[in-house]
Structure formats: structure tokens, C-alpha cells
């Protein structure tokens, strides 16, 4: 159906989060029917983003500059570092505008089941930042999952020698939930309700 070009497009789209074979075919059709209005601008945007966007060497965020816009912003509160699992969580907090400190993207959580160990996470740079003296509080904003809780415990043990205050986000993150899925009000409440880790 439609030749190898269309099949290739379908199979690439089907690999995106939230997409299955059926929604991929629908998306491909939409693009193919409006090549000038939808498909070419998307192709250009993808190529530009692939070329320009990199991982911030300080916090692990994605941005066209390194350090990223947040790390380089002189108006951010540099005494606060909020540790999140992924860039999606950082985006959720930024969208909600409840937080004006800095971030640190771990790149996941420790997981015995999936074989994720400390060496697979962005931990060493966090310990360096904690020891550098600028941060006074490190907020662990990890998901309310078993792995999230394990990772928070492990991190607070590792961070303790640096002398910074380590806190965890409070009530509001539903069990098994991630930050990314929360509405702005719940995120704000979770941040306000943070407690000593």
C-alpha cells in the first residue's frame, strides 16, 4: 500500500510515544495530503532541532545553547536545584511557572528490574554542583513510584556530606504518578509542601 517511502514514514511515526500503527498511518496521511503546509515545515523543523539542540552540560536539559537558557539566566534563584527524572518533568514545572530555581535532570531512576544503576544516571555532576557551594537546597522531585522513592533515598544519602539541605516534594504526586502528568495547581502544592528528605 503506497510504496516503500510511505511504509518507511509510517514505521518511523509509529515509533513515537503515544503512536501506534493506526495513528501513525493517520498522521502520515495528513502530512502527505498537505505537503507544503504541513510536511515540509515539519521536515525543516525536525532537521533544525536535530542540528541545534543539545544536552546542557550543567543540568541535562535540552536547549540550543550550552549551558541552557535556564542555567544561564541571571534572574533564576541559584540557591535552589530541583532534581527531576526527565526533561518532560522540567518542562511541566516550567509550564506551571511555580518554580524559579535551577534544575538537574537525572535521566531516569535507579531500577533493579530494568538494570539501571547509578552509573547510568547524571549523578556525578549533581554531586559536584551540590559541593560547589552555590546551592543551599536540593529538591528531589521524583515520581511517586518504588523506583522514584528508592532513588530519592539513595540520592539524599549521597548528598548529605555536601551539607546542602535536601528536601522531597510533598503530597499531591499520586502513587505511581510522574510530575509530567500533574496539573499546575497540584505541582505548586507539591512544591510548597516539600519536606526534609
Q: How far is the CB of 101 from Zn ion (least distance, A)?
A: 12
Angle (CA) 140-144-146 rounded to 5° is: 105
Q: How far is the CB of 150 from Zn ion (least distance, A)?
A: 25
Interaction residues for Zn ion, span 71-110 (CB under 5 A)? 71
Give 9 or 99: the residue with its C-beta nearer to Zn ion.
99
| Number of CB atoms found within 10 A of residue 179's CB | 27
Give 42 or 49: the residue with its C-beta nearer to Zn ion.
49
By rule CB under 5 A, what count of residues binds Zn ion?
7
Sign of the C-alpha dihedral computed for residues 39, 40, 41 and 45 taken in this order = positive
Is 171 within 8 Å of 193 (Cβ atoms)?
A: yes
Give 68 or 106: the residue with its C-beta nearer to Zn ion.
68
C-beta pairs of 108-112 under 8 Å, 24+ apart in sequence: 109/85, 109/142, 109/143, 109/145, 109/147, 109/148, 109/150, 109/151, 110/147, 110/150, 110/151, 110/154, 111/147
**x/- letters, 26..65, toward Zn ion (CB under 5 A):** ------------------------------x-xx-x----
Q: How far is the CB of 25 from Zn ion (least distance, A)?
A: 38
Give 61 or 167: the residue with its C-beta nearer to Zn ion.
61
Applying CB under 5 A, the residues found at the interface with Zn ion are 56, 58-59, 61, 67-68, 71
Amino acid at each position: 500500500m503506497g510504496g516503500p517511502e510511505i511504509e518507511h514514514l509510517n514505521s518511523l511515526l509509529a515509533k513515537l510515544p503515544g503512536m501506534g500503527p493506526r495513528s501513525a498511518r493517520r498522521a502520515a496521511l495528513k502530512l502527505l495530503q498537505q505537503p507544503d503546509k504541513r510536511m515540509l515545515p515539519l521536515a525543516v523543523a525536525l532537521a533544525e532541532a536535530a542540528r541545534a539542540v543539545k544536552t546542557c552540560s550543567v543540568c541535562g536539559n535540552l536547549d540550543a545553547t550550552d549551558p541552557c537558557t535556564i542555567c544561564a539566566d541571571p534572574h533564576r534563584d541559584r540557591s535552589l536545584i530541583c532534581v527531576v527524572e526527565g526533561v518532560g518533568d522540567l518542562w511541566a514545572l516550567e509550564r506551571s511557572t511555580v518554580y524559579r530555581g535551577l534544575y538537574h535532570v537525572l535521566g531516569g531512576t535507579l531500577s533493579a528490574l530494568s538494570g539501571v544503576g547509578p552509573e547510568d544516571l547524571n549523578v556525578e555532576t549533581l554531586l559536584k554542583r551540590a559541593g560547589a557551594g552555590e546551592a543551599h537546597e536540593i529538591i528531589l522531585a521524583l515520581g511517586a513510584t518504588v523506583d522514584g522513592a528508592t532513588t530519592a533515598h539513595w540520592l539524599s544519602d549521597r548528598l548529605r556530606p555536601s551539607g546542602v539541605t535536601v528536601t522531597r516534594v510533598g503530597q499531591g504526586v499520586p502513587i505511581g504518578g510522574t510530575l509530567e502528568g500533574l496539573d499546575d495547581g497540584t505541582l505548586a502544592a507539591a512544591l510548597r509542601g516539600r519536606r526534609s528528605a
